Structure 1
Amino acid sequence: MFEEQIQMVDLHGQYLRFKEEIDAAMQHVIDNCAFINGPQVKTFSAHLGEYLRIPYVIPCGNGTDALQIALMALELEPGDEVILPAFTYIAAAEVVALLGLTPVLVDVDPRTFNIDPQKIEAAVSERTRAIIAVHLFGQSCEMEKIMALADAYHLYVIEDNAQSIGAEYTFPDGRVQKAGTIGHIGITSFFPSKPLACYGDGGALMTQDEALATRIRMIANHGQECKYHHKRIGCNSRLDTLQAAILDVKLKHITAFTEARRKVAAHYDETLAACEQFVLPVRSPFSTHVYHQYTIQVKDANRDALQGLLKERGIPSMVYYPLPVHHQEAYGSISRISGSLDVATRLCESVLSLPIHTEMPIEQQQYITETLVEASSKLALK
């Protein structure tokens, strides 16, 4: 057993490394008592826009709010269809359903876990209005093909970039854009475990379109055009000033955070390559990977056995996600399923995410991989 407790994400260790900067930023907010829409929110929004190379960033309360506000800004109507992957967190389907829209579930690429563009095209109907492209685990979906489909069928594209902020997408012509800035609207979450994270809830939307940005700001602020004048139905969703101050500190270090996770991923890649029981995560040729998760597939229905062995050795792991969207009780009767969802179903039975974070010492990495190599041999003999 490893002496120090191994964690999926070491939030406390990261905080201690930047304690002086973070404490000072928080104290400044407290001293000035501008807790709602304080100047730090505007400052962080501007800095995030510079990092992402996009003109409009609108902070909000959390990533799920961001998805809902994005759909509201597109002015879809009840019964309109929104295509999304069957293998993802439930938030995308949730906001589609809450707005009276129809989730259309399609399968994903078995290697990258991201939505399969070919399956998107097969799912388009006369009621289809939008696609939610979820950039899962740290790398971008195949946006060139998705945007081409959107143009051909006159669809909107929302990029859910909560897990992949900082990833870069390279188009066939050599252009490079940050994930989340390619579609009509991008969204992200600042949930504490995310690549860019605060110490509570937080989120943001981003767009290249000034008119959409104006609409998004209005919706996030009770639909107000100006105070007490409500031009459209909206909601109350804002990023807390304290969280904005924390995020502005962390944004300065996001490149270093990404490189630290990539080093852990490279160690996993090198030491686990010969383990025949595991399928290691694939790096897409068109996207960099920021490794929000390092997710393997475990062969021969041995995932649960492996997770049990790791737990016995003090190594945490997580299953993202144990049920595909179409197997969730709340969504079975309201969703439209397009084609076979066999890949999504199989992934839910075989994926396992390993510890990966910015503070992982090499000794922990070695202990984890040595345990995994040993476990792979045991599982192969079963």
Structure 2
Amino acid sequence: MEKMAVKKAVAAVIEDDTHQAVLGHPHVRKFEALLSARLHGASVLAMNSGTDALIGALKVLGIGAGDEVIVPAFSFISTASCVGWVGATPSFVDIRLDDYAMDMAKIEERITPKTKAIIVAHLYGQPTRGIVDILGIAQKHNLFVIEDAAQSFGAEIKINGEWRSVGTLGDVGCMSFSSTKMFAAPGNAGAFVIKDRALLEEVGRMRFYGAKVHYYDYPTIGINSKIHDIQAAALIAKLGFLDYWEKHHRKVADYYSKELAGVGDLILPRELPETKGTWCRYVVRTKRRDPLFGSLLKVVKERGPLWWPMKNYPVPLPYFSAFKGLGHKLGDFPIADLVSQEVISLPMTNYVTTDDAKMVAAAVKEFYGQGK
């Protein structure tokens, strides 16, 4: 049903030729309004990607050369590469074992006079449990908080008795709707969420070449980070199915949790108190990660990449060559080091059915010699 709705929406855009317009983009504006409503009225701009949203966040907050930004040692590369892209320096902090998010108890020791912001990554569809503490630390030290919610659009956390959407808690929220996400655009897309309306307008100019008046006035150096009306129309159609997919992911996650409890040395994910995750990923830990990965891949390989297990992420961010100038070495981030060698994401996409989950769970049990 979703596929038919998307085809119909895209065909309608092509038919009325609005996708040819240089200005206007009515479907993009409508998508932004619907996304804002979904996020309880937050100000939203559609972007070409979650990575562009992160770069835009740093740029409009005035962060650049000579500045430092605190980031988790364990996340997708964009969480840290965006900092280097604007000329600033990432300052890495180790993570916790319960939600693989930044350890808030280790943040203040990394703050220097050069620190300007903290990037919080909500991984695997789960909210960062320590976000309230991190917001408090940021307020104490007059720092910006940027939420990397690329993997967790739709996730919520209860704060002072009220359910709040991730991406709307800090100064800026950045989201991704790439092909690996539960809510995915054709091609690529993302969103920028911000409280300050003036900064929202600045990001709007930045994503459109820096234009105040196109062809006549470019007060800032910008990029081309718009999304297309065709992408927006597809996302509008998909919004109507988002609740269904969230329930589907939860159903698959619940099945994995039930069937794999007590199997081998597996450490299963869990939803922390007063949080609502979206289960974008179902990530387990095991000291036998690599052989389990190989065993599972043999079982599901013919199903295609959308059914394959994944290693998210096998190398902590500080050890990438891009950051070698910072001088980090193995052992500097012991929890990130441990997790990176043990995590494996079991198949979890919109295309993974409960029958697929049964096949995966059976294969995991067989690997551990606990199959029927």
User: What is the TM-score when the length of structure 1 is the normalising length?
Assistant: 0.90
Number of the residue aligned with 2:282: 294
1:257 to 245, 249, 257: 245
What's the CA shift for 1:369?
A: 0.8
8 Å contact kept, 2:75–2:123: yes
Asked if 2 retains the 8 angstrom alpha-carbon contact of 1:202 and 1:240, the reply is no
- For 2:284 and 2:125, how far apart are their aligned partners in 1? 13
User: Which of 1 and 2 has higher RCO (CA within 8 Å, sep 6+)?
Assistant: 1
**Counterparts in 2 of 1:341-380, with a 5 A limit?**
341-377=333-369
> 1:171-182 counterparts in 2 under 5 A?
171=159, 173-182=160-169
CA-to-aligned-CA distance 1:255-301 (integer Å, 9 cap, x gap)? 111110001000011111111310001212132110111000012xx
Aligned equivalent of 2:305: none
What is residue 109 of structure 1 aligned with on the other side?
Answer: 96
Match of 1:304 among 290, 294, 318: 290
1:223: which partner in 2? Answer: 210
Count matched residues. 359
Partners of 1:54 and 1:207 within 8 A in 2 = no
Moved more, 326-335 or 23-32: 326-335
The alpha-carbon deviation at position 19 of structure 1 amounts to 2.7
Q: Secondary structure at the match of 2:18?
A: coil
1:208 matched to 2:195: yes
Alignment partner of 2:212: what SS? Answer: strand
For residue 168 of structure 1, what is the amino acid of its counterpart? E
Matched, 1:85 2:72: yes
Superposed displacement of residue 325, structure 1: 0.9
Distance 2:63 2:162 in 1: 31
Q: Unaligned regions of 5+ residues in structure 2, if any?
A: 302-307
Partners of 1:24 and 1:269 in 2: CA distance? 37
**Hey, what's the Cα distance between the residues in 1 that align with 2:64 and 2:269?**
38
CA distance in 2, matches of 1:249, 1:322: 35
Q: Equivalents in 1 of 2:88, 2:105: separation in Å?
A: 22
> 2 CA distance for matches of 1:312 and 1:276?
20
**Stretches (4+) displaced over 4 A:** 334-337
* 1:195-244: CA deviation from partner (whole Å, max 9, x where unpaired): 21111011110112212211211221222222221122222210111110
- Which residue of the other structure, out of 36, 39, 49, is the alignment partner of 1:52? 39
**In structure 1, C-alpha distance between the alignment counterparts of 2:369 and 2:147, rounded to whole Å:** 40
Distance apart, 1:336 and its partner CA: 7.5
Q: Structure 2 CA distance, aligned partners of 1:116 and 1:286? A: 18
Question: Match for residue 8 of structure 1?
Answer: none
Give the distance between the partners of 1:62 and 1:335, measured in 2 at CA.
30
Counterparts of 1:168-207 in structure 2 under 5 Å?
Answer: 168-171=156-159, 173-207=160-194
Identity of counterpart residues, as a percentage? Answer: 32
Name the CA shift for 1:323/1:308 in 2 (closer, same or farther; >3 Å).
same
Asked if the contact 2:53–2:192 (Cα under 8 Å) also holds between the matched residues in 1, the reply is yes
Equivalent position to 1:276, from 245, 258, 264: 264
Q: Partner amino acid for 1:243?
A: Q
Corresponding residue of 1:11: none
The residue aligned with 1:97 is: 84
Select between 80-89 and 109-118 the one with higher mean Cα deviation.
109-118
Tell me, yes or no, if structure 1 residue 237 matches structure 2 residue 225.
yes
Structure 1 unaligned residues grouped into runs of 5+: 1-16
CA deviation vs aligned residue, 1:40-69 (integer Å, no higher than 9, x gap): 100000000000113311111111111101
- The residue that corresponds to 2:304 in the other structure is none
Quote the offset at 1:359 in angstroms.
3.8
